[in-house]
């Protein structure tokens, strides 16, 4: 192994709290690569002595890790397809569900996921809940709570790519969207996980050509909206990159560092591709052991463009903008 990648292996592993011997064994690669094939990673959750992540896959991909380095694929999160799924997306006959997010609300974990067909907005974001993330726990069982939000041909939004945030005041919010009219926001009821006001129209947060994959993050009085522009799912030809804007209010308006409104095509560049690290997307933020990490999928040019997982060290500028520092 060349000297620089080897040094990076040691430094990243030490930053994660491993000793130097574990650093060599873990085999952390440049650009934060992890040995997990995943697309649209959820927020990573630490619980029950492990780290848990979900992603696009048959009845929702699930995986766990003891240390954020080595990952093990688990059985699909949902043991069976919900009965309503084929009616929402009859062309999705593989029970392949997209872009989940997971959050703990009260005593339950809420798993939000998308049921759709590629290139269409005949879509739904659904919810399942469980007291535990660990499939071996006696109380583990994902219970279908039904559809949170649905879109169709008459809507100017696409009900996929949920990102859920609970604010300091306890209110629960979900950003979502892909192409069509851009990215939107709805409020959820913390007691049910479903929409607080189903009759209210979603609030537009951002718009641009080829926009999707929003993520909400709160830090030091600002709400940050990370999102993707470009095209995914094309392996080494993918053009995904991550932009960001921020607002003092979760409902916006979200602006970039030049004051441009995200609803009018604004957005500060956060993370793009470089070398074999192609098309990073679906960014979430992990706070662990006093450090922060940007969690993304990317297309690995050294592995014929296969989607993989990366954790990149996250820092902040003096004026409060996120930046990758590894």
Binned at pLDDT 50, 70 and 90, residue 28 comes out as low
Question: Which residues are CB-neighbours of 122 under 8 A, at least 6 positions away?
Answer: 88, 89, 116, 151, 152, 153
What SS3 class is residue 139? coil
Give the Cα separation of 259 and 265 in Å (integer): 11
Give the Cα separation of 165 and 219 in Å (integer): 12
Distances (CA, A) of 200 to 125, 164, 186, 203: 16, 18, 8, 9
| Known catalytic residue at 288 | no
| Known catalytic residue at 87 | no
CA atoms within 13 A on the CB side of 235: 6
Residue 124 has a pLDDT of 98
Dihedral (Cα; 230, 231, 236, 242), 10-degree rounding: 40
From the list 29, 207, 212, 300, the catalytic residue is: 212
pLDDT in tens, 264-298: 999 999 999 999 999 999 999 999 888 999 999 99
Count the Cβ atoms, other than its own, within 10 Å of residue 67: 14
Which has the closest alpha carbon to 7: 26, 35, 25, 30?
A: 30
pLDDT in tens, 223-257: 999 999 999 999 999 999 999 999 999 999 999 99
From the list 29, 40, 187, 207, the catalytic residue is: 40
pTM equals: 0.91
pLDDT in tens, 30-52: 789 999 999 999 999 999 999 99
What's the rounded mean pLDDT across residues 26-32?
67
Token pair for residue 88? 């929402």
Which has the closest alpha carbon to 288: 17, 92, 18, 48?
A: 17
pLDDT in tens, 99-135: 999 999 999 999 999 999 999 999 999 999 999 999 9
Binned at pLDDT 50, 70 and 90, residue 21 comes out as very low
pLDDT in tens, 151-210: 998 999 999 999 999 998 999 999 999 999 999 999 999 999 999 999 999 999 999 999
Average pLDDT, the chain: 91
Residue 8 has a pLDDT of 41
């Amino acid at each position: 192994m060349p000297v620089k990648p080897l040094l990076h292996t040691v430094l990243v592993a030490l930053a994660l709290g491993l000793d130097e011997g574990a650093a060599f064994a873990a085999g952390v690669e440049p650009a934060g690569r992890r040995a997990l094939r995943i697309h649209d990673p959820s927020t990573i959750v630490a619980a029950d002595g492990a780290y848990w992540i979900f992603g696009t896959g048959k009845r929702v991909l699930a995986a766990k890790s003891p240390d954020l380095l080595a990952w093990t694929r688990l059985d699909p999160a949902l043991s069976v397809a919900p009965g309503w799924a084929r009616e929402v997306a009859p062309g999705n006959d593989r029970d392949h569900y997209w872009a989940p997010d997971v959050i703990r609300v009260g005593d339950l974990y809420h798993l939000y996921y998308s049921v759709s067909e590629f290139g269409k907005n005949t879509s739904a974001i659904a919810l399942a809940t469980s007291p535990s993330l660990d499939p071996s726990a006696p109380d583990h069982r994902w219970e279908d709570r039904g559809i949170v939000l649905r879109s169709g041909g008459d809507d100017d939004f696409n009900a996929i790519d949920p990102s859920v945030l609970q604010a300091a005041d306890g209110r629960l919010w979900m950003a979502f969207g892909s192409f069509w009219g851009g990215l939107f926001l709805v409020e959820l009821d913390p007691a049910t996980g479903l929409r607080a006001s189903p009759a209210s129209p979603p609030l537009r947060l951002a718009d641009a050509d080829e926009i999707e994959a929003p993520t909400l993050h709160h830090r030091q009085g600002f709400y940050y909206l990370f999102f993707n522009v470009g095209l995914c799912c094309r392996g080494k030809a993918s053009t995904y990159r991550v932009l960001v804007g921020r607002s003092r209010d979760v409902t916006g308006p979200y602006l970039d560092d030049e004051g441009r409104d995200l609803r009018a095509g604004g957005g500060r560049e956060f993370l793009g591709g470089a070398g074999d690290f192609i098309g990073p997307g679906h960014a979430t933020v992990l706070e662990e052991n006093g450090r922060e990490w940007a969690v993304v999928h990317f297309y690995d040019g050294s592995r014929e463009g296969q989607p993989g997982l990366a954790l990149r060290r996250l820092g902040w500028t003096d004026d409060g903008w996120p930046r990758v520092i590894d």
